[in-house]
Each structure stands twice: as C-alpha cells, then as structure tokens.
Amino acid sequence: MLGVLMVCGVVPLHAAKAQEGEDPALTAGLVQCPDAAPFVRTQQQAKARAEAAQASAIAAPSVPELRACLLEMERVDQQVRNGDWSQAAVSRMVAVDAAHLPQIRRIVAEHNRLPSAAQVGRDDGVAASCSMPMLIRPSRSGC
C-alpha cells in the first residue's frame, strides 16, 4: 500500500515534464496508480490551454486600429527614407514628418504615453510605436 501511495505522489512531478507514454517513470506510475491518469491528462490540458491563451494574448493587440495606423505611418515613413538624399527626397521626408507629427502627438495625448505592446502588438506594432519618439522631441522654438 505504501508503494502505491509513493508512486501516486511521484506522478504529478513527472506530469509537468512529459506527455503520457513519453516518460517511462510516468508510464510505470500510471500503471501502478490508474486513478492518476485522468489527473495527469487534466493537468496537461490545463497547461496547453494556458499556453494557448498566453500566445493569443501576445498576438492580439487590444487596439488593432491604432496598430494599423502606426504600421501605415511607419510604412510611409520608411518608403520616403529608403531613397536618395537629394533635395527632393529630403523635402518628402520633411513633409511626411510634418504630416505624422500631429497624429503622433494626438496618439500620445489620448493614451497619456506611447502605446504599449498590449495595445499595438508585440511584434511590428511595438517597432512602429518605438519609432515615434524621434518626431515628438520639442523643436528649438519651444513648441
């Protein structure tokens, strides 16, 4: 009886590390303690659900419209900056910066800060958000 209790006590330790049938000690423990099998399956399913929920939370921004706006602003910005450094190209860069600056200031004012990763996504949304401070710096005129 004591041996069965010991095996049943060891099973949960192995359950987090291996799937049923992968770990010989877990398999042997489940043979000795068949009532542990449903517990192990429940724990594995709960872990899988928690991992899926976390992946979903990371992938899905809470403010997708803001993400789309930032990504579009970044796309336009990078498009004008990937050219040459002629006077015409620099003029286009200045025009894009002038168009984006009011939008960026509005976004920062609405959120009381730069958008977070949860709001705009942890991948490209954060990259687009991180490029914004370059335009927010105060001008020499104090504006």
Exposed / middle / buried, residue 52 (Cβ in 10 Å: 0-12, 13-18, 19+): exposed
pLDDT score recorded for residue 131: 66
In the chain, what are the domain boundaries?
A: 2-59, 64-136
**pTM of the predicted model over 0.85:** no
Query: What tens digit of pLDDT does each residue of 15-35 get?
Result: 444 454 478 888 888 888 888
Give first-to-last CA distance, the chain, whole Å. 80
Positive or negative torsion for Cα 52, 56, 58, 62: negative
Whether the predicted pLDDT of 91 surpasses 70: yes
Q: Among 75, 77, 71, which Cα is nearest to 93's? A: 77
| pLDDT at residue 98, rounded to an integer | 93
